[in-house]
Chains A and B, each alone.
Chain A
């Protein structure tokens, strides 16, 4: 009897170990079978694809609205509203967007543990999941749900570089621009930068700010040199050639990049960056601007939320201005675009219970009402534009003024680089500014990984 019991226990333990693998296959098969049935039914009955799910379902969602994202609160409110309206449950696994997060998202797809809905980049970063047929195109979704994303301007829906098809429904775009601390500028006797702000004036302003005992530019070169790289390179080119990638440091684009990196080095050597820019985190340097210790910060439209949350008492100290221009780039030529959107994964699409819930979720999160709350000051793809709000604070109004004065909007060239090449280049910026390697060497090192 004991032997029998022992044998039975051991067998149960072995089976329980392998149960996960078998379970996945069974579920998939079941889902596939049901999908086939559903499609046949749909064809005969309706083209709306809005089959009734068997009851409330649970969907997993991954977005970049995590951590200190300015829209985190809006996201949570919108998710709650969806749950309330549908009875479905959202398992949220959002996190702050960085290279680590991007890797994790890709690993989940590779491991078969991808979410049902994903808010992610629509450029080269998403190539692996599109090449692997892990997400569903808008064309395919619209065969079942013809009204899907019909509140968006078609020409602003970004096609995938892989096959030219659109996979994402955007919420709002972004711009990158210059946040300023007006109190610091006033104390240093520097005028608030206008639409004609140029590099020469900027360098002169930095000198005045430094002499007044402040840090001119808040930036962590060891962690987030991205924004300064983008504008430094743009300043050495123009709107037409900004998105070109160099083949080597010797060609025209490579030379442009080297000059741009040289401008960052000049800022470092002149002492215009924080003393600890090579060791500080991004949070530390942003804090310098918030605390009134630094004057300038280049960051994205999402940063407004940070100042609203952390500097509510002196929000009118902050404003949006233009990153100083140089050469053919005017200060009002911004970097930005619509680089992210909601994907529905193949896994959710082929699960008849989750399909409808996932579609409804994306429709809810990209409705005019929700997008208007998220966008406020940034560009959107909405046909009817954002619903105006009369509850804007001074920083949002400043951002709207800044965006209204923009003369052009071009994407970020770094988004065209592979993660490996981008990581290498940005990790080497600290070595460039300290003259451990030349800008040309750093560019060639990155391109070898492209």
Chain B
């Protein structure tokens, strides 16, 4: 049971073989047993989890079960929840408890899900390793001396170690896909505008998008189906987005005739050769399943990281201005005057990486530099979007490695921000283009998972789900488990 998928738990709940309370208790026990090693959860209210599970069982006793009835889902600390603290893993939000649920939290509750705790993340989602968290480093279950990726590292670690069957993440430049890849699980970033951002703490508003982190493709579709949909409270949530039949998209497991683009810019010198080999092998597998592999070019890829590191910090510099010590969160002791209160509260409340990005963003937006940085970055962003539009004239989907490397050691890159930024080199471009993307396991290198990334045109998550389901059905990679966390699992 512990390494079960959402779909399997759902089947057992529907068959009456177990209850939501039993399932919740199982995962609570596993969190208790393993979280000290992993630091995947930074907040857990066990009584609240059990209360939700009891309510779900009571609902099931009287009604038709809802789509996620009784299914435990862990929540990244970036989603505001009425229950418990919401900290974005930052000291600046010390003491903050949101008086509201994020829109997607409301939707998951309405779908019957049991929300479990808050998972660790890089502070304000700024990072690729979950090492900048105010609550300490999160660990990768495949090797606890290594990072789980980031920023949704806590969610990835929790799902990979079966401390939760599924989790929510957010993805601004790869923060769902990269940790999913490094932890050997499945992660989906929907099209920008597919899922409401309301109540999700903003990092870079034009890039942020929430999505699921799960043990297989179908589970990702199940959770996204509950999350997606127009929200009149988010002006960037698209009202007339084409609706999808998420689960049906997973059932079409036929790759025959599917044109898969293989962009040369994503198979480059300097990437891990084991990763390259695993992804090449996955593409050959797809070819064997009837797909056509088409060599393509996305010529502006090399500018994606630079473009991202102008736009995302610029937006962040404004988004994080509200943490000023005036109304909520951390305020310094005994401020001398207003300026002292601002500077000391923010100095004490934000970590080094967050400060670096605020400064970078404020600089890029400042008078005299705006044209050279922000405006230029927006222009390049348009070119990157056009790259993809042109590519999708030739191919149906694009496949790439999710990350150029497997999980690296804790502390390995913390002193070198630029190297850390390059961890997202393959995931960033599609955020800039607003496109949907997905990562699924496609191999192991030295005992560490490798991720295969799928990219589709806007609103065509069905193509991602179809391709990924077909590939998944033909391999065992998503069934791999980190043995260190299987031992105490037992059977429910």
Whether both chains belong to one complex is answered with: no
Residues of B within 8 A of A (CB): none
Residues of A within 8 A of B (CB): none
